[in-house]
Structure 1
Amino acid sequence: MADATTHRGGDTPAHSFLTAGPRAAGPALARLTAAVWADGLATAEAAPAAAVLVRALERLPEHLLGRALVLLGLLAEADGPGAPDAYREVRKGLGACLRLLERSRGDDPLVHALLYVVSHFPEDRERILDRVDALGLAADVSSRIRRCLRPLAGADAVIGRVWPSPAEWDLTDAEREQDRQWVAGLGPARLAAAYDGDTRMLLGYAGALAHWAVRHGTPRQVHDARAPRPSPYPSPAGPAAWSRHAAVLRCPCCGGRPSPAADGHATCAACSTRYPAGHGILDLTAPVEADADPADVLRNAATLASVGHYYETVLRPGFLRLMGGNWSGAVTPADEDAYIAAHTRPADGPVLDLAAGAGRWTGMLAEAVGVRRLIALDLNPSMLRRLRGAVPEAAAVRADALSLPFDDGSLGAVNCWNALQAMPDPAAVVAEAARCLRPLGTLTLMTFRAADDPVDRYFQRSFRGPGFPDGMPLGDLSDITAWVTDAGLDLLDASTPGNFVMITARRPG
């Protein structure tokens, strides 16, 4: 096989990278990456370049070694015609990687890059784990590599409860039984696809962590002291919370007014459609057949009774690190709180927490504008029940963000925090929010933009969400601001710490 350092006279991206000094390492890696890899596909130059990097691994200086390892990990999981040869060349470096691990400490940023590479070789599982176990890794890191290396073992596989690491999911026996029943109905092909999707998500998280660590140092964890803790749901309540907003609510079937009924339901005065209102949640979703893919692992995870707790304590923090590039904790929950408090300036009328989830931001809004003004809306009933435990006095409505059950110009403000990226049509969601705003009412939102770095963008897309089996697409800042201005709102602020996008807009007076 041709040596990429001598091919074309020795002046190749691989040669330039191997001879780059500390200041030139980043640009040299970018040129090499572009030559051998493009958005998950290996080029014809991938295998020769991988061979060169593997031969040099144990003599590379520190400023190059971590970067080279991340690229080798990308090539090990790449697709395309050149991928099999690239995989074989990277695997030849397994011995060197294990020797480097032997000389490393568990908190060394280089360890994350080494673990990312070796996580691609389940056929060498025992050999790898013998070395990894000696490092004394944290439980989240150790459980992630073990799951990446574990082959699929039939219907006993855990699906959809492993990201960002299996150790962070402490499921009850009842929850595990729910999963077993779901997995048993998938069939071999769907099970294999779902298991592979989970593996790719874990590799994406490990790769993003490694890519950040070799450039910036060991990441740190940021914990949200306000995250709801497990607690019993409040007892079923009467309709008082949502009925105080009956003047702005409308029936999804005809546009009439839902009003409380004696049996605990709500009934539309115009078309007599009945809507459940159990647990204090007004459910305005139409009774339609579910059309979700039965192999959609995150949609299945959303049915977990404790999903609100796991969302706040496991999924959301990991999501902010992966999507926002928030590995250093530069954007804290307190920063998010402060933005909402400073920028929510409602006109008269109710304040909507759109896609409210488990109520983290509903609680923040309750402090900012008063709980009696709030309407928390989400499509997930498990999330809303958790929300009622966190903010029991807030009105809770189950409805679709793409067809909000409110009159035109009826809401004083709308908050949509960390949700647009998961919507099938985010521009339409913004337009719906704008339709419902009163003049001078504000829209505050937080979402994420596609990273500037192509490797970071690739890792962002490793996350699979409901409706996004090939990865969650993210827009550029210009796309996100266009959703706002095209909806007829005035853009007041667009803050972009990391890959976060925090926006305030206002409906003209």
Structure 2
Amino acid sequence: MSISAAPAQVRKLVGAFVDAPDDRLDTEFQQLAGAVWRDGAVTGLAHPAVRELATCFDAVDNRRKGYLAVLLGLLAEAEYPATDGPVATAVGDGLDTYIGLLGGLDAGDPLGLALVYLLAHFPAGRDRILAAAGPAGAGLDEDDHSRLDRALAALDPDRPVLGRVFPSPSAWRTYGTEGDFDQRWVETMSPDQIVRGWQADTRTAFAGLGAKAHWAVRNRTSPATPPAVTFPPGDRIPRATDLDAGVFAAHAAALRCPGCGGAFEFGRHRAHCGKCDAAYPITSGILDLTKSTAGDQADDFKFMLAESPHMALFYELVARPNFLRLNGSNWDGAVTPDVEDAYIAQHVRPVDGPVLDLAAGAGRWTGKLADTVGAGRVIALDLNGPMLSMLRARLAGVPALMSGATPLPFNDASLGAVLCWNALQAFPDDAPAAIAEVGRCLRPGGTFTLMTYRNSDDPVYRHFVASHTFSQYSGGPRPFDLDTLKESLAAAGLRIRDEWGPGTFVFITAERV
């Protein structure tokens, strides 16, 4: 394409968007956005497009302004961490206009959310932008205000606060009380790692604002207000207690040693493999299959279980609902805990054998599983000790295994059903192998019921999801390609008998054939 042809093409794309009827507006926006921005990078048409967009910005209605604000934010973000690149500078020429518009909008207005996302990319205007946004709770809600504030902030290399952007900085300030424990890993980071971590956090702040704004603009509505969080004080958080060894022994026929596949004999504080002589500790009703020990107690494991019970609740009550909003496109709150409960109750249909909650977390949906099939049939499995400790505190009769999903510590065709709820995306690279293990362990006719997420059909929304990273930079969301996920189920001998997918959710129940 010649340089001289570029402005003409830009004018055509912008004109098609501006003049589009409402039922084609999103399609024309995708055409325009795809021509100037792809997968987080600008194209050669981006710079002339900014000038054309600035020309028409004041003349279009608020819905179109919202789309254009999202696109201008994407173009400015593409040059981050630089904030003075040619495209960002051209976008910033309209700063007075964006700030002026923001000051006259109600909290949660789709255009207001889009303008906040756009303005988050201009730290040089920090004071003016925050003044226009108003105090937290009056203009923007506290979460979005804290994301904006963080996006516009400068790194203090001597006192870096890292990994506290998702779900929002305000959530960490309000509920993340175990700060010393959470920030120990920062002390091990080099100066370069700190800078990279800060930049990843900034991108997460951009993405949190952008995902919400883009959804609101596309759907022409304000996102739903999340339910208030009731967070107990630390001295009222329950603790796990010991469990009678007979509860584990009741599932002995299904369980096997992860090292050699041998059978277990269960004592009060350990499980012993008669084949390889390995012994695994049982503490507070949790069998730790990640390592063997010759003793009856594993003091380091006990310490870990007691170390951060608060963070298990933080995940469940604060992070998880925001994760559903982001990954499930659930900004309208259509998928509620009651909806999830109802799906589990309706679709988990075990044959004979124990029922496994795979990657059970803190046990909220393990409890629903126990209500559905009976607590005496349920085994919980997760790799996170504090989460399992919270699960055990809630569900006194449910045994827990600290173990990964590949391999599962169960014999072939030994399980009656498996639940994997809001978890498969936590280990996406291992998901095909984990699904294969589920297929191996299920008895014929047993069900595998899961809830996870698929990639959005919208490349802009996909970008916002992929731009998130979480605390300790262990990675961000990795939604599935739905066809690939179905191929893994089929390869494991699992036939889908129910599928449902509001937004970008994936609810599936498959049966072992």
Q: Same fold (TM over 0.5)?
A: yes
Q: Which of these residues, 160, 166, 170, is aligned with residue 167 of structure 1?
A: 170
Counterpart contact for 1:241–1:280, Cα < 8 Å:
no
- Per the TM alignment, residue 9 of structure 1 is displaced from its structure 2 partner at its CA by 7.3
Q: Is the 8 A contact 2:468 2:477 kept in 1?
A: yes
Q: Once structures 1 and 2 are overlaid, which stretch shifts more, 115-124 or 126-135?
A: 126-135
Runs of 4+ more than 4 Å apart: 2-6, 79-83, 170-174, 224-230, 465-471
Deviation at 1:447, TM superposition (A): 0.9
Higher mean displacement: 413-422 or 118-127: 118-127
Preserved CA contact (<8 Å) 2:17 2:28 = yes
Equivalent-residue separation in structure 1 for 2:26 and 2:9 (angstroms): 23
Deviation at 1:4, TM superposition (A): 10
- Deviation per residue, 1:125-161 (Å, 9 max, x gap): 2221122225533211211111111111125332223
Match of 2:291 among 283, 286, 307: 286
* Counterpart among 239, 249, 259 of residue 245 in structure 2: 239
Q: Does 1:446 align with 2:447?
A: no
Question: For residues 401-440 of structure 1, what are the structure 2 equivalents within 5 Å?
Answer: 401-423=405-427, 424-440=429-445
- What SS does the aligned partner of 2:34 have? helix
Q: Find the aligned partners of 2:224 and 2:503 in 1 and give their Cα distance.
A: 15
What pairs with 1:131-146 in structure 2 (closer than 5 Å)? 131-133=132-134, 136-146=139-149
Q: 1:5 and 1:83 mapped to 2: Cα distance? A: 26
The one-letter code matched in structure 1 to 2:312 is G
Give the gaps of 5 or more residues in structure 2: 294-303
Superposition pairs of residues 45-444 of structure 1, within 5 angstroms: 45-79=45-79, 84-133=85-134, 136-170=139-173, 175-216=178-219, 217-223=221-227, 231-261=237-267, 264-286=269-291, 304-423=308-427, 424-444=429-449
Q: Judging changes above 3 Å, is the alpha-carbon distance between structure 1 residues 404 and 468 closer, same or farther for their aligned structure 2 residues? A: farther
Q: Greater CA deviation, 361-370 or 225-234?
A: 225-234
Q: Describe the SS at the equivalent of 1:169.
A: helix
- The answer on whether the counterparts of 1:4 and 1:14 sit within 8 Å (CA) in structure 2 is no
Distance 1:499 1:241, change over 3 A: same
Q: In 2, Cα distance between the equivalents of 1:60 and 1:368?
A: 54
C-alpha contact 1:375 1:397 (8 A) present in aligned 2: yes
CA contact (8 A) 1:54 1:89 kept: no
Q: Match of 1:482? A: 487
User: RMSD across aligned C-alpha pairs, in angstroms?
Assistant: 2.9
Residue 482 (structure 1) shift = 1.1
Q: By how many angstroms is 1:170 displaced?
A: 4.5
Is the alpha carbon distance of 1:242 and 1:215 closer, same or farther for their aligned partners in structure 2, counting shifts above 3 Å?
same
Following the alignment from structure 2 to structure 1, what is the Cα–Cα distance between the partners of residues 9 and 445? Answer: 65
Give the superposition deviation at 1:228: 9.6
- How far apart in 2 are the matches of 1:9 and 1:276? 68
> Which residue matches 2:301?
none
Taking the aligned partners of 1:53 and 1:11, their CA distance within structure 2 comes to: 9
Distance 1:22 1:82, change over 3 A: farther
- How much has 1:376 moved relative to structure 2? 0.3
* Amino acid corresponding to residue 93 of structure 1 in structure 2: G
Q: Which residue type is aligned with residue 189 of structure 1?
A: D
> SS of the residue aligned with 2:443?
strand
Whole-angstrom CA distance in 2 between matches of 1:172 and 1:61: 40
State the Cα distance separating 1:305 from its structure 2 match. 3.5
- State the 1:361 CA deviation: 0.9
* Structure 1 residues not aligned, in runs of 5+: 289-299
Q: Is the 8 A contact 1:57 1:96 kept in 2?
A: no
Q: Is the 8 A contact 1:434 1:507 kept in 2?
A: yes
CA distance in 1, matches of 2:206, 2:107: 19
Aligned equivalents of 1:100, 1:249: Cα separation in 2: 63
Residue 164 of structure 1 contacts residue 318 of structure 1 at CA under 8 Å; is this kept in 2?
Answer: yes
Identical residues among aligned pairs (%)? 43
Report the Cα distance in structure 2 between the residues aligned to 1:410 and 1:404, rounded to whole angstroms: 11
**Corresponding position of 1:505:** 510
Q: In structure 1, what residue type is equivalent to 2:166?
A: W
Classify 1:171/1:243 alpha carbon distance in 2 versus 1 (closer, same or farther; 3 Å).
Answer: farther
2:395 and 2:495 map into 1 onto residues whose CA distance is: 31
Name the stretch that deviates more: 101-110 or 220-229: 220-229
TM-superposed deviation, 1:382: 0.9
Aligned-partner residue type, residue 342 of structure 2: A
Normalised by the size of structure 1, how large is the TM-score? 0.90
How many Å apart are 1:241 and its aligned residue? 3.0
1:4·1:48 contact (CA, 8 Å) conserved in 2?
no
The answer to whether the 8 A contact 1:140-1:168 is kept is yes
Deviates more, 1:10-19 or 1:371-380: 10-19
Kept in 2: contact 1:284–1:397 (CA 8 A): yes
Q: Give me the whole-angstrom Cα distance separating, in 2, the residues matched to 1:157 and 1:391.
A: 39
Q: 4-13 or 163-172, which moves further after superposition? A: 4-13
Q: What is the aligned length?
A: 494
TM-score of the superposed pair, with normalisation by structure 2? 0.89
**CA apart distance, 1:5:** 11
